[in-house]
Every structure is written in structure tokens, then in C-alpha cells.
Structure 1
């Protein structure tokens, strides 16, 4: 998979996003050393806000290929998202093409960022049921998952925003129990049990 365009745009925007994000929200990042410097990985965590992707971008120098709802792919955003390596997802009809694209990136030793809830949380700190995507792509490509949890609010200069990265998970069992296991680990991270 060629990603020269997106890599260049990502390399230009990532430092700007990182500086602005850290200045505006002064987040606390715990465990970012758990993100490998190379090789395929799936970053999977709770989805609290539209800025969650920017928070993840500010945590690693690696290019993260996010899955994003196709409704966002309009006008200039379509060009921007395409050149940043984002993957459009049709959430209403299921989307094998999005899963295939993510698997292709993983087979190219890239990083996939995914919010398994499929949308932002309705109740702060309470996870929605997870979709199959993160676990399915990890299992099909023999890729480990780095779980993460985002806590706090995106209030300017509040210093109460935190992301916690957990230990990597290997998907070894059937999909449904593995989804529940991932959900449990992220819930534990949210509660501070790990």
C-alpha cells in the first residue's frame, strides 16, 4: 500500500496538532512507551469526544490510520482525511471494505486507531457495547491490541484530561469473548483498576 501523500501530510500536521493539543488541554499521558516504535498494532479505546483522535495523534510519532464514519467525508474534509490515511466506515450497513482496508494497513506493518464503541459515549465514563472490528482485524492479521482509556474533559487549560495505555492484548480466542475481554480491560483502565 502506498501512503506517501498521507505520510507527508501526516508528518506536516502531527507536530502542529501535538503542540496545539498539549498547549490547549495540557493532557496527562500514561504508558505511551507501550506503543511500539515499529510494526503493526491496533490502538483501541473508549470514545469520549471528537478530539479523541487528535489526542492519540499527540501520543506517538507513528502515523495512525483511523476508522472514521463516512458521513464526515464531505467537501475539503474528504481530501484531507484521504490524504491523512483515514478509512471511511459505513456504520449503518456494515462495511467489509473498511475492514479490508484496515487489514491491508496492518499487513503493511502500520498502526490502526479504532474506537470499538463506534460512536462517542452517551454517558461519561460508561462504555457502549463494542463492535467487532478491532478484535476481528487483530485476529485476522495476528496483530496485538494496545488498549487505552481517555478520562476527563476537553476543557481549555483544565489539566484534567488523561489517556492511559494498557498492556498489549493478543487475540487468541473466539471473537465474542475477546470483544468482552477488550471491553473489560478498557473499563478497568477507566476505573483505574490496572
Structure 2
């Protein structure tokens, strides 16, 4: 189902503005699991992020509200999404993505929610998960249509991936997490500016 949906969406979205331009895909690790942290301004970037790395699959961290109806829950599960309570994150918020990463899978997180255009500070979720899973974080940025209205303007979609960022081992854990947050924030901002 994931591949069928991915390639069908690729054809449909490519009608609007042509195929996506992808930069830095070669920077994605060839083995082992990792986190992709991408900027987020609308629902279209979620689709394009998944399409941009096919045939690789992304396991998306999604808000639990999307799993409340049976039909949408089924669709989310087919698309490799798992629920997270953003208001009251529990142990599963860390355990599920950690297990996926340890199984060699890719976890996709949009750390700034839908407000990256407002330059809000990145949430700690992405760096916490990566640190516990001992995996790198791949920063990513998206520029392009964010909704139906912008799709019909045939705006070209672009995604850029940065170099893997690792947790520093030469400083205490709390300090290392702060550095990782700063490095991720800067990398995503630089990628975004490079695309605009």
C-alpha cells in the first residue's frame, strides 16, 4: 500500500509544477536507521518528503487525532504513521520511534509543527529520539506548495537534505543535546534559505 500510494501521489503531484527537485539525497545514510527532521508549513510537504526518497520508506510521527476515525486510522497505518499525543507525550513517544530506528528504519519528524515559517524554536522530540536511539539526524527543508490553492498555481516543489548530525560525545549529555538542537536548527534554517 505504501509504494502504491507513494508512486500514485508522485504522478498526481508532478502534474502540478513538474517533478520535485531534490538536493542532497546522496547524504542519506545507506544503512542503519535514522531520523529525518524536516521543516513543515502545510500538508503537502509531508507527501513530498515521502515521495522524494522513494523507494526508501518513512515512518511518520503523527498527531493522535489523525487516528480517531477508523478509515483515517487505517490509512495512517498503511502509510507507516504512528500516533503521538503532542499535549501529553508518554513513553511510547520515544519507544516506538526508537524501536523503528533500531530495526534500521527511517523516522520522519516535523519538529516545528506547522509553524516553521514563524521561526519557532525546534521541539526537543527529534534530538531526544536520536540521542536515545544513538542515530544521526538528517536535516531537511521543503519549499513549494503547501495547500490545494498553491498546488493549482503550479508552484515547483523543492526539498534539500543536509549532512547527518550526530550527538557529541565530548561533553555531558544535557550539553550535547543542547548542541544537537542548535546544530539541527541552524542546518534546517540554512537549507531553507538555500532553497528560497
* Category of TM-score, reference length = shorter chain: 0.7 to 0.9
Given that 1:149 and 1:186 are in contact with CA atoms closer than 8 Å, whether structure 2 keeps it comes out as yes
In 2, distance between residues paired with 1:176 and 1:94? Answer: 20
- Choose 51-60 or 22-31, whichever is displaced more: 22-31
Following superposition, the deviation at residue 108 of structure 1 comes to: 0.2
C-alpha distance 17-152 of structure 1, shift in aligned 2 (>3 A): closer
Find the counterpart in structure 1 of residue 104 from structure 2.
109
- Choose 27-36 or 179-188, whichever is displaced more: 27-36
Find the counterpart in structure 1 of residue 181 from structure 2.
179
Aligned Cα root-mean-square deviation (Å):
1.9
- Tell me whether 1:165 sits opposite 2:167 in the alignment: no
Q: Which runs of 5+ in 2 are unaligned?
A: 169-174
Find the counterpart in structure 1 of residue 50 from structure 2.
57
Q: Which runs of 5+ in 1 are unaligned?
A: 1-8
- Provide the secondary structure at the position in 2 that maps to 1:66: strand
Aligned length: 182
In 1, distance between residues paired with 2:51 and 2:78? Answer: 18
Following superposition, the deviation at residue 171 of structure 1 comes to: 1.7
In 1, distance between residues paired with 2:187 and 2:158? Answer: 16
Find the counterpart in structure 1 of residue 84 from structure 2.
89
- Tell me whether 1:15 sits opposite 2:7 in the alignment: yes
- Alignment counterpart, residue 26 of structure 2, candidates 19, 25, 33: 33
- Provide the secondary structure at the position in 1 that maps to 2:16: helix
- Provide the secondary structure at the position in 2 that maps to 1:29: strand
In 1, distance between residues paired with 2:8 and 2:129? Answer: 30
Find the counterpart in structure 2 of residue 6 from structure 1.
none
Q: Give TM-score scaled by structure 2 length.
A: 0.84
Q: Give TM-score scaled by structure 1 length.
A: 0.85
C-alpha distance 64-140 of structure 1, shift in aligned 2 (>3 A): same
In 2, distance between residues paired with 1:158 and 1:34? Answer: 28
- Tell me whether 1:68 sits opposite 2:62 in the alignment: yes
